[in-house]
Structure 1
Amino acid sequence: MKRSTKTTIVAVIAAVAVFGLGAAAIPRPPTLSTETSGDAALVAEVSDRLAELPGVRDRVSVAVIDGDDVREAHFGATNTTEYEIGSVTKTITAALLADAIDRGEVAADTPLGDLLELGSSPAASITLAELATQSSGLPRLAFGPAEFVSTLVTQYTASDPYGATVDELVAGARDADLGEKEYLYSNFGFALLGQALAVAANNDYPTLARERVFEPLGMDDTFAPTSTDDLSDDAATGYTASGRESDAWTLGADAPAGSVRSTLADMAVYARANLDETAPGVEATEPVAPAGEGSEIGYAWHTTDGVTWHNGMTGGFASWVGFDRDTGRAVVVLNNTAASVDELGFALMEED
């Protein structure tokens, strides 16, 4: 039997199985919490804007930073409520790259194969800068038949689709086919970047992020879990786009692409430090390559119409962080449902 036929049969069987699982768990969608706090005008504005956006909502926290002035708006939350920030984690991994270059541990053009055991595979020649600017040629995900079935299952069970070991991640890179060296968003690439930086520093990724980014900025409630063992028993949970409760995403070896958990208080500190250029590895925010029509990319950070930003989404959370050095404004939006907050983030960057 041909491999493609086997894959199709396995996928059909998996789809039938997970259909039953999904039907057994009809979601009861949450609604935006009416328990609000913070700046009254900002609370009203955020409420109005969210009402115009699609998707279910539950808890939301927003910070608008103008110099020393920080306005907050909370719905069912406080500035110490924990959220998954998803792919905003990539900006932290990018900061670690810029910092490692400053320390002389790596160079922008260091080949990935110098740090990870990739043999003579095409992935060995990818540079760290190519990974950081999403131009490595790697696919979005390490995606074989097993991963395909796993993704189907996790979509219906609202569970974490990641969880590979570092060895499995590296093995996936050895087997990967590379595309054109042009902008193509890749979680796979950023996972490899973070693990490579950990090797260069003779450390592990969660410790590296804590020691080089979180601790210097006083982000005491921010961390990068790699398994549910790293979470507290009362860890915050989120909701899928349809309103079903989602399992936590800790991502395993893919943690550098999106596992960080944080609070509005800590993310406001992070956003301000990047705005005023005092953050570790702040060089990562400077645009160096095109990233689609009308946008550029630095290391992870995108810049569009003067706004430098990144968004994030997991199975149960969505986030957005951005800043504009010309206007002196930064915005953080954290949300515990898998409903995009990009439009809200950009709108708050532009309001008077």
Structure 2
Amino acid sequence: MSDVWGDAALAGQAQRMLGKKHPVAAVASVNHDGVVTAGWGAPAEADFEIGSISKGVTGLLYRDAVERGVLRGDTRIGELLPVRAGCPVAGVELEAVSKHRSGIPSIPSARSPYRRSLRFWWNGTNPYGDTVAEMIEQAGAVELRNPRPRYSNFAFELLGHAVAAAQDSTYPELVQERIAGPLGLKSWYLPATEADLRPGSLTGRTRGGRPRPAWPGQALAPAGGVRSSIGDLAELTRALLEERVAGLSALDPVARFVGGVRIGAAWITLEHKDRAITWHNGGTGGFRTWLGMDREAGCGVVVLSATAASVDQAGFRLLSERN
């Protein structure tokens, strides 16, 4: 693969694991000795859609607000967002959302998910371009499901915007104030529309190499809207391991989740080769991402790819082999 930059050993190791189906990618390894990064197909400063790793950011902001007394775990969505009075979503507690136990569907029926899915598979159209006002209106028509562990994009959209509303802020402003600003993550931004994309922002691709439109979205931001360079996501990982991030308790598992794993506020913890790994992955129309940490050993790995093919296996392998 061309245009390789950064640490040669890490680049070679990651390329062997990811293979030719990931022609544009970046990786980072974090441990007590520092941060090492590498990549190919795009410059080191390129920004990727990190997808649902954004939920991990929302989990941090939620726990930070609880720890500072801004809100409580039993605060209800309807206390913070102007959803329709008396609708089921209004009574859902934030703590339940943070553990994916809210009963809120992943995509509300008001978004015509079948029609949007067809458009996405046909021409790659972004299925998540809603505004916050549209999100709030859609929430009023949601019928709750059994509140068993169930992954929900829409629930995390509501959670992030509710946490921001509790602080008289917007979600992008809160991300900047509480996380990106203090850690110096200058590449981080959350585009609401395609017009907000920065010059030179990466274009994701399908497994077959077809370009996919970006996934900006005002409502989507807390569930999958952050864009980041590899260096800044590695810096977040280092800050998490060094316990200097707001809302750090989001990483601590507090409940059982699907498949025998445990969950904190968005963050998943599972046993992998006799090690407790805390992680989250992400996927958009043209990107796949993974961030994982062995908190006890003080090490972590980040994998970002501008191709819509899973990088989870490579992430777990890199974390196991490099640390």
Matches of 1:253 and 1:72 in 2, distance apart?
A: 32
More deviation, 256-265/226-235: 226-235
> Which structure is larger by alpha-carbon Rg, 1 or 2?
1
SS at match of 1:209: helix
**Shift, 1:155, TM fit:** 2.0
Query: Who is 1:101 aligned against?
Result: 66
Contact 1:161 1:251 in 2 (8 A): no
Q: CA deviation at 1:144?
A: 4.1
Which residue among 196, 200, 203 is the counterpart of 1:230? 196
- Structure 1 vs Structure 2: percent identity of aligned residues? 40
Among candidates 181, 184, 196, match of residue 215 of structure 1: 181
1:260 to 186, 202, 226: 226
Q: Does 1:332 align with 2:302?
A: yes
Q: How does 1:84-95 map to 2 (within 5 A)?
A: 84-95=49-60
One-letter amino acid matched to 2:55: K
User: Aligned runs of 1:182-331 on 2, under 5 Å?
Assistant: 182-305=148-271, 306-331=276-301
Deviations 1:44-75 (A, max 9, x none): 21121123xxx832211001111133222211
Q: 1:136 aligns with which of 102, 106, 119?
A: 102
Residue 252 of structure 1 deviates from its aligned partner by 2.5
TM-score, normalised with respect to structure 2: 0.94
Q: What is the rounded CA distance, in whole Å, between the counterparts of 1:233 and 1:220 in structure 2?
A: 15
Secondary structure at 1:180 match in 2: coil
Three-state SS of the structure 1 residue aligned to 2:187 is coil
What displacement does 1:102 show? Answer: 2.2
Give the deviation of 1:142 after TM superposition.
1.4
Gaps of 5+ in 2: none
- 2:111/2:138 contact within 8 Å kept: no
1:347 aligns to 2:317 (yes or no):
yes
Whichever residue aligns with residue 238 of structure 1, its letter is G
| Amino acid corresponding to residue 244 of structure 1 in structure 2 | R
Which whole-Å CA distance do the structure 2 matches of 1:191 and 1:70 have between them?
31
Alignment map for 1:49-68 (pairs within 5 Å):
49-51=17-19, 56-68=21-33
Q: Which amino acid aligns with 2:132?
A: V
Q: CA deviation at 1:103?
A: 2.4
Query: How far, CA to CA, are the matches of 1:103 and 1:202 in structure 2?
Result: 15
Q: CA deviation at 1:274?
A: 1.0
- Give the CA RMSD over aligned residues: 1.5
Q: Residue 184 of structure 1: SS of its match in structure 2? A: coil
Contact 2:77 2:162 in 1 (8 A): yes
Equivalent in the alignment of 1:180: 146
Alignment of 1:36 onto 2:4? yes
* Greater Cα shift, 307-316 or 232-241: 232-241
Alignment partner, residue 7 of structure 1: none
Distance, in Å, in 2 between the alignment partners of 1:79 and 1:145 is 37
Partners of 1:48 and 1:268 in 2: CA distance: 21
SS in 1 for 2:37: strand
Q: Paired residue for 1:45?
A: 13
Q: C-alpha distance in 1, partners of 2:132/2:277?
A: 34
